[in-house]
A and B are shown apart, each in its own frame.
Chain A
C-alpha cells in the first residue's frame, strides 16, 4: 500500500506538470498498483479532472484521452470495427471487468510494461502519443524513451486502411501473458509486434519484403521462423526464453495467416 501526505486534483495541466517536477510526487492514473509495494510519496497528483477521459473520433484519427479506461476501449464499437476487434481481443483477458474499468490507457502506455497487452496492440496500429511538453511522437519511439516527468495526454491512432489481429498465450486465462503478438497491414505495410518477451513490446516490419506480393502459407512460415530468431526473449517465472522464442514463431505465423485470410 502506498502512503502519501497530500492529494491534489489538478485543475490545469500546467499545475499537474509543475507538481510532477517535484521529486517524490507522483501522477496517478487508474491506481491499480496502489497497493503493490510500500512506497511513500509527498503529493499524489490526480489528473482525472482534466478532460482526458474522452475517445474523440474524426475522419483522420482517434484521439484517446489518457484517462480513458481499458473497458471503454474494449467496448468502443468504432475502434473495434476499425481494428477487427484486435483491441477487444487484447484487453478482454486483463484480470476482469472491474479492473479494466479502473485501468487507464494512459497508465498502461506510460508504464511501457514488459507484459503489456495494451502496448502490443497499439504498436501494431499507426499510433502516436501526445505529451504535454514533448508534443506528438510515435508510439514506437515513445516506447523506447526513458521515463521522464512529462505528462501523457492522448493516444492518437491514425485512421488508414487497416487489418489487425491479436493473439497471446497465457498460462491461466486472466494472468499476465507469456507472450503477446499483434500483426497488421496498414497502407500495405506490415507491422508485427511481439510483447511480453519478457521485455517490453518490440515492433518489426517486413524489411526484407518476404511478405510482399501477399501472405502465403510458405512466406508466413518463413517470416515467423526468421522473426523468432531475431526477437530477443528472456526467462522469468512465466516462461523460458526458449519457450518464448517458440511462441514468437507460432503466434507470428498464425497471425500472418489470419491477416492473409488463410486461417
Chain B
C-alpha cells in the first residue's frame, strides 16, 4: 500500500504491507530510538507522537499514519536535550533501553502540563516501565529540570 506521512518534520512516501506496524515502519526508516520491550502494549518503550499525541507505535498500523505527522525522539533532539541532562545527573539513564519512550512521554506530559506535581508525573508516566532505575531518580531529574526552568 502507498503511504505518505510527515516523519520528524519531513514528508516521506513509501510502499508498505498493510499489516506493518508503525513500530517496524519507523525502525525501517532509521528511527532506532524506538524500542520494543513487550509486544503486549504494556511497556511504553515504543512511544512516539501521532500528530501530537503520545501512542504505542507497536500497537498502531503504519497505514493509519497515512496523512498524519509522526515524531520520534530523533525529531525532538533539541527539546529533549533541554531536559535529559538532568536525568543524566541522577544516573537514572541506567541501561537506557526505556529512555526514548520515557523521554517522549515526559515531553508529552510537560507540553500538556508544564508544572506537574510529583503525583501527576507518576500518574502520567505510569505506562513507562523501567526495570533499572527504580523510577525515583527519574522523578528527581524531572523535578530538577522544572526547578531550573522556574529559576531562569
Contacts and interface: CB of A to CB of B under 8 A. Distances in A.
Interface in A1-44: 1-7, 9, 28, 30-32, 34-36, 44
B61 A99 contact: no
A59 B59 CA distance: 37
Interface string A163-181: 0000000000110000000
A7 B18 contact: yes
Interface stretch (B27-35, B40-48, B73-81, B137-145): B40-48
How many interface residues does chain B have, given as a range? Answer: 20 to 34
Given A34-B59, A35-B40, A35-B58, A99 B1 contact: no
Interface string A83-118: 000000000110111110110000000000000000
Contacts of A44: 18-19, 61
Contacts of A97: 54, 105, 108, 124-127
Given A31-B59, A32-B41, A98-B44, A7 B19 contact: yes
A48 interface: yes
A67 to B, nearest CB: 11
Interface in B60-81: 60-61, 63-64
A57 interface: no
Contacts of A101: 50, 53-55
B14 to A, nearest CB: 15
Contacts of B99: none
Interface of A: 1-7, 9, 28, 30-32, 34-36, 44, 46, 48, 92-93, 95-99, 101-102, 173-174
Interface of B: 1, 18-19, 21, 39-42, 44, 47, 50, 53-56, 58-61, 63-64, 105, 108, 123-128
Given A1-B39, A35-B39, A35-B59, 16 more contacts: A1-B21, A3-B19, A7-B18, A28-B61, A34-B59, A44-B61, A46-B64, A48-B64, A95-B127, A96-B44, A96-B128, A97-B127, A99-B42, A102-B41, A102-B55, A102-B60
